[in-house]
A and B are shown apart, each in its own frame.
Chain A
Amino acid sequence: MFDDLKRFETGSSEQYDWLNQLLDGFFPDRNTMDIRAVPRGSFPMINIARSDEAVRVYVFAAGLAPLDLIIDVQDNVLTLRGQRDAVSGQHEEGESRQVLRRERASGEFVRSIALPEGIDVERSEARHVHGVFEIVLPKREELKPRRIDVQAA
């Protein structure tokens, strides 16, 4: 369980980087980062949860229609790719307009994330609701928890 959390750790926000680096100097093993970790706030944001039956991945991709996200699983790595167009600052007559603030990510994106072992990729499915994709990755039958009944003698 805790190994899993470490694997998914995304690292701390930028303002603590200097402190982290300082602390890492004293305690080298303190916070080893996952190779696929990305800075906070990368688009799209991802939450992963698990139940006894499945691992559920929630992709917060506002502005993407159901067919705009390409979801691949290979060798236990989930890859999400797609594209989101920037809101245009163009006026009807082609005059460009001042962009006062541009915080939303745009353009192509690819994100990969390592999944826990034991996923049955064949039975995986995905849904889309209001800019959130839910990917359900069922666990393989033999890995589900099982209760063993004690038989009467």
Chain B
Amino acid sequence: MNDIVRSSHSHHSSLQQEQNGQNRHYKEALLPAVDIIEEANALKLVADMPGVTPETLKVEVDDQVLSLEGEIALNMPEGLSALHAEVRGQRFARRFNLSREVDSEAITATIVNGVLTLTLPKKESHRARRIEVQAA
């Protein structure tokens, strides 16, 4: 009925997902809601990942693709049966294509109360500059 209710062992479920291969792995993940804001010197990305801890969060940049992944770590007692489930999954995952101006070496991430905040700084050469309009 629902992974989160059924299996309290996150280790077990991640093992299972690895066995089932990459595709299933992405299909079963929940898509976190995100806000993205353009700042002068950086892009700010905020993602809702309730239940994800700093230990279960994985943020990676590979070939201009930013991937966010996090396992929902909840200690649930044995012998529960689901009555109602809006969260039907054990993990969050989402990927974004980065643009060239993002300095992927300088990305920083924090997660507080299940909200991930990523700062994606722009390279020095791409930062905002105000262009003055000259009088004719």
Residue of B49, B50, B114 contacting most chain A CB atoms (<10 Å): B50
Neighbouring A residues of B39 by C-beta, 8 Å: 91, 97
Q: When chains A and B are docked, how far (Å) is the Cα of A46 from the Cα of B77? A: 17
For the residues of A in contact with B, the DSSP-based class is loop
Task: Bin chain B's interface residue count.
Answer: 35 or more
Contact with B along A79-102 (1 / 0, CB 8 A): 000000011010100000111111
* Besides A48-B85, A89-B37, A129-B51, 20 new A-B residue pairs in contact (Cβ under 8 A), listed by A number: A45-B86, A47-B86, A49-B80, A51-B77, A56-B76, A60-B50, A62-B48, A62-B113, A62-B114, A87-B37, A87-B44, A98-B37, A98-B38, A100-B36, A101-B34, A104-B48, A130-B50, A131-B50, A131-B114, A131-B115
Docked Cα-Cα span, A47 to B89, in Å, equals 11
B52 in contact (CB, < 8 A): yes
What residue of chain B has the Cβ atom nearest to residue A5's Cβ? B83
Select which of A42, A51, A60 is within 8 A of B51 by beta carbon.
A60
Q: Is the CB of B113 within 8 A of A99?
A: no
CA distance A58 to B73 in the complex (A): 12
Tell me, yes or no, whether B46 is within 8 Å of chain A by CB: yes
Check if B33 sits within 8 Å of A103, measured CB to CB: yes
Pick from A40, A42, A48, A105: contact of B84, CB under 8 Å: A48
Q: How far is the CA of A44 from the CA of B115 in the complex (A)?
A: 13
Binding site for A on B (CB under 8 A): 2, 4-5, 33-40, 43-44, 46, 48-53, 72-77, 79-87, 111, 113-115
Chain A residues with a Cβ under 8 A of chain B = 4-5, 8-10, 40-42, 44-52, 55-56, 58, 60-65, 86-87, 89, 91, 97-105, 113, 116, 129-132, 134
Instruction: Give chain A nearest CB distance to B129 CB in angstroms.
Output: 14
- Which residues from B are CB-within-8-Å of A130? 50-53, 73, 111, 113-114
A131 and B51 contact, CB distance less than 8 A: yes
In the complex, what's the smallest C-beta–C-beta distance from A69 to chain B, in angstroms? 11
Q: Which B residues lie within 8 Å of A40 (CB)?
A: 86
B44→A49 contact, CB < 8 A: no
CB distance from A89 to the nearest CB of B (A): 5
